[in-house]
Amino acid sequence: MKHGKKYRQAAGKVVDKEEYALADAIAFLKENAVAKFDESVEAHMKLSINAKKSDEAVRATVVLPSGTGRVKRVAVVTVDKAKEAQDAGAVLVGGEELVAQIKEGKVVPGSAFDLLLATPDMMPKLAQVAKILGPKGLMPSPKNETVTTKIAETVEMLSKGKKASFKNDDSGNVHQVIGKLSFSAEELAANFEAFRDAVQKAKPEALKGKFIRSITLCSTMGPGITVKLS
């Protein structure tokens, strides 16, 4: 497809019904970039789940070999691992005093930090701010591995965008940024494959048959490209 007005109007929409090999889909997006900024590359997967059934919910984490290209500000609620968190690059570190600051509105989740980690011993303290953190998707949880004793490793991976959590939306889809258009084709392919494998491993036990129904790749301003499932 050529650059120009028609291409820009196609942004966010599937180009056609043709399915592309992964390498060809990535090449298409890179060759047809139109934005003046470094666009993100996103993978969208339609799953054969019933999003209304709790036993078919999909929620997991993925480690992307080259990261997402997005820097994340990580805060940590801990006492014993405070120095470890600071040395790893956490933007905010504290125990009960940090919880109190969140409760009082002195530290605003989403503005002061993008992600929140906690050591297991601090989870009872965080219960009092669950109504603040929960709606913003920032409440630490063992399910997305944000409750952990491996603070240094987790802070480093999350702040560099190498570790990301995902879950299905109300339509049974999962979405994940897998890098930037400035990444090499090999880096984008490796990140895509890591995400696809993580989604496949998260298949609910209650679900039988085909799990991933379709996969689409797109860039921030580009059209959607259907990727062959094989």
> pLDDT digits over 57-70, tens only?
999 999 999 999 98
Q: What is the pTM of this model?
A: 0.75
Evaluate if residue 56 carries a pLDDT over 60: yes
CATH number at residue 123: 3.40.50.790
Question: Of 159, 178, 200, which residue constitutes the final position of a domain?
Answer: 159
How do residues 166-223 score in pLDDT, each as one tens digit? 999 999 999 999 999 999 999 999 999 999 999 999 999 988 889 999 999 999 999 8
Do 153 and 218 fall within a single domain? Answer: no
Looking up residue 213, the CATH number of its domain turns out to be: 3.30.190.20
Q: Is 110 left (phi over 0), alpha (psi -120 to 50) or beta?
A: left
Are residues 37 and 59 located together in one domain of the fold?
yes
Helices H / strands E in the chain, number of each? 8, 9
Burial class (CB in 10 A: 0-12, 13-18, 19+), 112: middle
Contacts of 106 (CB under 8 A, 6+ apart): none
Residues 184 and 152 in one domain: no
Question: Do 135 and 106 share a domain, yes or no?
Answer: yes
Question: How far is C-alpha 193 from the chain's CA centre?
Answer: 14
Q: What percent of the chain has pLDDT over 90?
A: 81
- Tens digits of per-residue pLDDT, 112-159? 999 999 999 999 999 999 999 999 999 999 988 899 999 999 999 999
For residue 49, the enclosing domain spans 8-68+162-227
In angstroms, the CA 194 to CA 182 distance is: 19
- pLDDT tens-digit series, residues 16-52: 558 999 999 999 999 998 899 999 999 999 999 999 9
- Provide the domain count of the chain: 2
What is the average pLDDT score of the chain? Answer: 91
Dist CA 152 CA 131 (whole Å) = 27
Judge whether 211 lies within some domain: yes
